[in-house]
Amino acid sequence: MATVTEENHGAVDNPATDEARWRDDPHLAKVPQVHPETLVSPDSRAVIVAPHPDDEVLGCAGLLMHLARSGHRILLIAVSDGERSHGSESSFSSGLLSQLRPAETSAALHALGIADISIMRAELPDSRVGEHQRKLQDLLGAYLQRGDTVFASWHRDGHPDHEAVGMASRDAARATGCRLIEIPIWMWHWRTPDHPDIPWQRARKLTLDDDMQARKKAALECYRSQLEPDHSTGNPAILPPEVLAHFHRDFEIYFV
């Protein structure tokens, strides 16, 4: 997840939504549960398309653990290196972040207990993925195989990179005969449960056991660049506790 700043053209300008509002809302409570093999059949490869380093853990750490435990093939396509998360005035330069944030993903995957995973780094520019949406679609088309199950950020997620990834993944999946499942990430922070864009009828709930919840929290702790305040600028953490609360649940939501 990259911060939505003036520099990276955030598309949503609503107040943040507290996790308690989601927890108490009947829409979320009524979402039916889904089995991992309903999301990804035993003979299907899972392809995770992550806009930024950390989105793969925020959105689908539980799914990744389920897939790894059942021996599924997994390909992670890292669209950007998240190099613009802190802005030009920060001591966290784009060059530093382009090395640091992918390393945080590696540590996070280790914390999840996931070793057998292929990673392809597209190295598209953070905060400008929309300018390269066709390039991303073509790249996905080159890597996707018929029968893959593609997981990508929701195309109405409220962050321009996330939405571009969602649309490119949708078009590439259609062209290659793959199934697409979308993952809401920024939605939890910027939308409200009654927002008309949310496709509750498509939502499915994947349960995480106690061990998975603990591992997901440990994996999120690996993203120190996003969790700590930027002392060089005085800016707060990009992933403060009120944002992390959306991802400390005992379930994950997928739009199928």
Q: Residue range 134-155: average pLDDT? A: 98
Q: Structure pTM?
A: 0.94
Residue 187: pLDDT band (50, 70, 90) is very high
Q: Residue range 95-120: average pLDDT? A: 97
Mean pLDDT of all residues in the chain? 94
Confidence (pLDDT) at 111: 98
**Residue 8 within a domain:** no
Place of tokens 């199950």: 149
CATH of the domain at 173: 3.40.50.10320
Confidence (pLDDT) at 13: 46
**Residue 1 within a domain:** no
Confidence (pLDDT) at 3: 54
**Residue 79 within a domain:** yes
The answer to whether the beta carbons of residues 144 and 178 sit under 8 Å apart is yes
Q: What are phi and psi of 252, to 5 degrees?
A: -125, 155
**Measured between alpha carbons, how far apart are the two ends of the chain, in Å?**
21
| Count of domains forming the chain | 1
Q: Residue range 120-149: average pLDDT? A: 98
Token pair of 79 as six digits: 């669209």
For residue 195, the enclosing domain spans 19-255
Confidence (pLDDT) at 87: 83
Residue 22 to residue 49: CA distance in whole angstroms: 25
**Residue 114 within a domain:** yes
Q: In 10 A of CB 110, how many CB atoms?
A: 13
**Residue 5 within a domain:** no
Residue 14: pLDDT band (50, 70, 90) is low
